Amino acid sequence: EILTLLEAGHETTGYTTSWALYEVACHPEVQEKILAEASAIDLDTLPLTHVQSMLPYSWMAWQEALRLHPTVTAIGRQSEVDITLGGKYKLPAGSIVLVSQLMLTRSEKIWGPDFMKFSPERMEKGYPETHLPFGWGGRTCIGKRLAYVEGVYLLAFLVKNFRLRVGEAPVPTPYVTITHSAKEGIQLMMSRRSD
């Protein structure tokens, strides 16, 4: 668990934060809202335990990027007992069940007709229980809270200090294996904001 937290945790948080920065660069109105929020507080003295409460819009933007670009694309579980899912799918004990994050995050039924649009406001009231970016139950990712703190803080810090633009770089090509990254990386133009 500790090795997973230290190794896989930084990689997956980095992927999500990279996608969040890309989405924010593509949506200047979102960038301006994060800038206003981050400029209203002293990020240098912000207790990390207060990141979500003090940076709610940044949290929504990072969470929405995680929805559109789920870092872990599928979660597997093994049934311990015979079970019937949805009243019609009978699974014997020992069956492997694979839950596709990509399908859940791109469901019109769950997210509405604009499900492919980057819209941090959709996270304002929380998210549906079918949004499982860190797994669920006793096997929830041990690094969940750390990922949120690191990712949201870094997003707010970078937007506060740098203007993000997409520039001439090609649109990133999603590269999906167990994780969801960008095949050629995410290239952004950053210029320091003047004080």
Residues annotated as part of the active site: 12, 134, 141
Instruction: State whether the Cα torsion 131-128-110-182 is positive or negative.
Output: negative
Q: How far apart are CA 170 and CA 183, in angstroms?
A: 11
Query: Three-state SS string across the chain, please?
Result: CHHHHHHHHHHHHHHHHHHHHHHHHHCHHHHHHHHHHHHCCCHHHCCHHHHHHHCHHHHHHHHHHHHHCCCECEEEEECCCCEEECCCEEECCCCEEEEEHHHHHCCHHHHCCCCCCCCHHHHCCCCCCCCCCCCCHHHCCCCHHHHHHHHHHHHHHHHHHEEEECCCCCCCCEEECCEEEECCCCCCEEEECCC
Q: How far apart are CA 51 and CA 38, in angstroms?
A: 11
